[in-house]
Structure 1
Amino acid sequence: MDLLNSLAVAAAPTRLDPVELFFDADIVVQAVIVGLVLASVWVWAIIIGFTLRMGRSKSRSEAFEEEFWTHEDVDSVLDLKRRKDNPSARVAAAGIAEFRRSHKSGLKDPSAARSRVAQALEGQVAYEADTMANRLNFLATTGSVAPFVGLFGTVWGIMNSFFQIGMQQNSSLAVVAPGIAEALFATAVGLFAAIPAVIAYNRLSNKVNGYEAGLQRFADRVHAQISREMEAI
């Protein structure tokens, strides 16, 4: 008997095995864990994709703005190709297009024309910021929902453990512990998905705010330049 106990102790796992916990879990808990893992993968894909996209947009915008203020031929700078992949170019194009429409119909009310140009610039800046922040909503949703989804898996697993106690009529720790461990694993996976999502959402939201502020400063300079040209007409 002592030999059997010694073999059982020797065969017992010495550390937690997430893979074994997953395969031993109830089907509902497994479904919760799979969903949370997929959400975590998508969270990291958004983080990496957003970081790369933000870096490209900022570098393109800075290069365009430098060229815009030093180039005499505005039309050649605002060609169609650059408008498609350059936020600052699209902002400038929106303001200049509104100015030209107002100038074409005659500047009967320069103040109203300036207001329309400002609205066009601000609208384009808001559009660029919203487009950049489009996928960040998933981070916020994952950060707030994932812990509760994991908790649902935990509650289900604990309910299943109590059911096993009733079926086996045995409340020993050996009967209860495996099911509870599997259930708590769902909560751990939920936190694993939620914590990076919350941190990334806060940091990337601040980056979007800074990005929008940079575009707004450029839009203000464009509006000032257009106002000076209106006064010279």
Structure 2
Amino acid sequence: MKLSPILTTFTLCVVAAPAVAFDLETLTALLERAEHDEMSPLGMFMAADWVVKGVMLSLLFASALVWVIFVARVLILRWERGALRRRYRALDRAGSLVAAREIFAKRKGVMGQMVRAAERERATTGEGAALKPGIKERAGSEIARIEAGAARRMGHGAGVLAIVGSTAPFVGLFGTVWGIMNSFISISESNTTNLAIVAPGIAEALLATAIGLVAAIPAVIFYNIMARGLGGYKVMLADAGALVERTLSRDLDLAASEAAESRPAFRLGAVSAPAAE
């Protein structure tokens, strides 16, 4: 993706935004123009009923919230996946938890929590041969809880996207029904069916449905993208937890082997029989 056109557009917006946003005269002129032009989006919003205005504002807020959540979650997910990939390789190169202790001593990432949990369980229980299966089981249980917590934290915001994607069209439809109802009431009060009189009310009512679709369609797309990325992140977490458990098991086996080699060997038949006279 080429960033130069995006950066150029963003720079122009940043430079031009203060002149537009903080110029009260320009804002006043836009509002006055909207009052006279009832068929423009701003004019339809200004002429709408207070209920329809509330529906439109809530949908616009939901649409902005959807974009903020999606951009923030995508950036955080990309950062966490890169950090998890780098630390996975660091532990794989180290080959043991003792060698990787300094690498993960002060890091607050998920991989560091798993390594410290395995080390803590090993230090608390001890390294007896009879205790080795229990160490693996308890460390695996704590690592699984760390994986679940990391996946749950990464999924924050997905529920908001699902709610907006499923309810925004119906909220917009409510605003449309309310606006069309007001249009029919105005028709009965004015005793005319002239399209020029009816059209503005119907148009502003349909604008609520349009804003609802604008909020719902990106929410559904972003939710599917987040669900797919979160699924890949869960697979990476499972791989990281499996690597920590394999490394812990290897360390325990090596420690047991070294302890067995350090014990004095007793051989059968080592005591010689007395020599025959």
If the TM-score is normalised by the length of the shorter chain, which range does it land in? 0.7 to 0.9
Distance 2:76 2:41 in 1: 34
* Alpha-carbon contact 1:107-1:113 (below 8 Å) kept: no
* Alpha-carbon contact 2:92-2:243 (below 8 Å) kept: no
Distance 2:176 2:120 in 1: 58
Within a 5 Å distance, the mapping from 1:29-48 to structure 2 comes to 29-48=52-71
Q: Secondary structure of 1:74's partner?
A: coil
Q: CA deviation at 1:107?
A: 6.0
Q: CA deviation at 1:206?
A: 0.9
Aligned to 2:112: 89
* Alpha-carbon contact 2:179-2:202 (below 8 Å) kept: yes
CA distance change for structure 1 residues 17 and 91 in 2, over 3 Å: closer, same or farther? farther
- Alignment partner of 1:121 out of 143, 156, 168: 143
Does 1:225 find its partner at 2:247?
yes
Going by fraction, where is helix more abundant, 1 or 2?
1
Which stretch has the larger CA shift, 209-218 or 109-118?
Answer: 109-118
Does 1:62 find its partner at 2:85?
yes
* Alpha-carbon contact 2:162-2:219 (below 8 Å) kept: yes
Distance 1:88 1:16 in 2: 57
Within a 5 Å distance, the mapping from 1:190-201 to structure 2 comes to 190-201=212-223
Q: Secondary structure of 2:126's partner?
A: helix
- Alignment partner of 1:177 out of 192, 196, 199: 199
State percent identity of aligned pairs: 35
Distance 1:30 1:186 in 2: 8
- Alignment partner of 1:150 out of 155, 161, 172: 172
- Equivalent residue pairs, number: 217
Q: CA deviation at 1:112?
A: 3.0
Q: Secondary structure of 2:133's partner?
A: helix
* Alpha-carbon contact 1:139-1:197 (below 8 Å) kept: yes
Q: CA deviation at 1:116?
A: 1.4
Q: CA deviation at 1:75?
A: 2.2
Larger radius of gyration: 2
* Alpha-carbon contact 2:39-2:203 (below 8 Å) kept: no
Distance 2:253 2:84 in 1: 28
Q: CA deviation at 1:69?
A: 2.5
Q: CA deviation at 1:177?
A: 1.6
Distance 1:190 1:124 in 2: 38
Q: Secondary structure of 1:207's partner?
A: helix
Does 1:26 find its partner at 2:49?
yes
- Alignment partner of 1:99 out of 100, 122, 134: 122
Distance 1:79 1:228 in 2: 20
Aligned to 2:133: 111
Which stretch has the larger CA shift, 171-180 or 32-41?
Answer: 171-180
TM-score (norm 1): 0.86
- Per-residue deviation, residues 160-200 of structure 1 (Å, max 9, x unmatched): 11111121122232222211111110011001001000011
Distance 1:176 1:140 in 2: 36
Q: Secondary structure of 1:77's partner?
A: coil
Q: Secondary structure of 2:240's partner?
A: helix
Distance 2:39 2:123 in 1: 69
TM-score (norm 2): 0.73
